[in-house]
Amino acid sequence: MTGKSFDELTITDNFMFSKVMQNKELCRQFLEMVMGVKIKEITFPEYERTIDIRYDAKSIRLDVILEDEEHTVYNLEMQATSRDYLNKRTRYYQDLIDLDLLEKGQSYSELNRSIIIFVCTFDPFKKGRHIYSFENRCKEDLSLILGDETEKIFINTVGKADDIGEEFQNLLDFFNGMAPKGIFPNALQAEVSKVKKSQEWRREYMTLQIFMDDARREERKIGREEGRAERADKHLIDQVCKKLARKLSAEEIADNLEEDISRIKRIIEVAEMFAPQYDVEQIYEKMH
């Protein structure tokens, strides 16, 4: 999420991308372009990949999950910020899809083929390619495919390699903020304009922004509280170490500092590893 207003959203904002891709025809065309195959029909079955922003509010989905006529499950998401853990996020998404299918009564052998697709406005692997596709293969024999029917695809909108056609390049240029060129990018832009006219989605976005802001404030509050707790712990360790240097017993230190004896004994146990210097930072790190 960003601090943008609803009217400032573009196709590369998660919220807008997810709403535009709810248009079945546009979503189908997008998949055809990415996969390089014809897709007759897509459906949006119910999956549990939602974000609950509050207990009494409607759940909001920021990614798109769909099936084609062959029952291949696709998970689409826009990624506008580079993250070190992006590759492991695809693993998490894959697990969620499989778990949801199993909970619906399928056996392992019946699991659908599934493909995770991330549209990245940066190069996630720094190789210049526009498309990076991954599947599980034998390391000793790359011609041997595991056959678990899972695939992860990363679309790099800023790629430099000569590995896509003009139509696909026009689409990526549109994702990169250029004026739409060609039938499909113009159709996407028209859908963006249509989404912005929806009062329901405007309210949904504003609600999500409010609760995301609340979550960020809560995280900052917790961080401040943790900071205060850390300072208090280090102060106590420092006091214990000073009294240890004076050869006081655990009971005497606990009584002097009015602290629980078990807590003082724990500090002494660790502190003695760093005697006689008693480095407070090292003791704190060891205890945590």
pLDDT higher than threshold 50 for residue 59: no
pLDDT higher than threshold 70 for residue 54: no
Q: How many CB atoms lie within 10 A of CB 246?
A: 8
Higher pLDDT, 134 or 91: 134
3-state secondary structure 219-262: HHHHHHHHHHHHHHHHHHHHHHHHHHHCCCCHHHHHHHHCCCHH
pLDDT higher than threshold 70 for residue 51: no
Calculate the average pLDDT of the chain.
87
Contact 63, 26 (CB under 8 A): no
Helix-helix angle 199-245:280-287, to 10 degrees:
120
Confidence at residue 108, expressed as pLDDT on a 0 to 100 scale: 79
The SS3 assignment for 116 reads strand
Look at residues 125, 119, 107, 120 and name the one whose alpha carbon lies nearest to residue 74.
Answer: 119
Which pairs from 50-53 meet CB under 8 Å and 24+ separation?
Answer: 53/207, 53/208, 53/211, 53/212
Confidence at residue 228, expressed as pLDDT on a 0 to 100 scale: 82
- Residue 48: pLDDT band by 50, 70, 90 thresholds? low
Token pair recorded at residue 128: 């210049």
Higher pLDDT, 104 or 139: 139
Residue type, 220: R
Among 89-98, 207-216, 246-255, the least confident range: 207-216
Confidence at residue 47, expressed as pLDDT on a 0 to 100 scale: 63
Token pair recorded at residue 79: 């990624």
Confidence at residue 55, expressed as pLDDT on a 0 to 100 scale: 37
Mean pLDDT in residue range 166-181: 96
- Residue 52: pLDDT band by 50, 70, 90 thresholds? very low
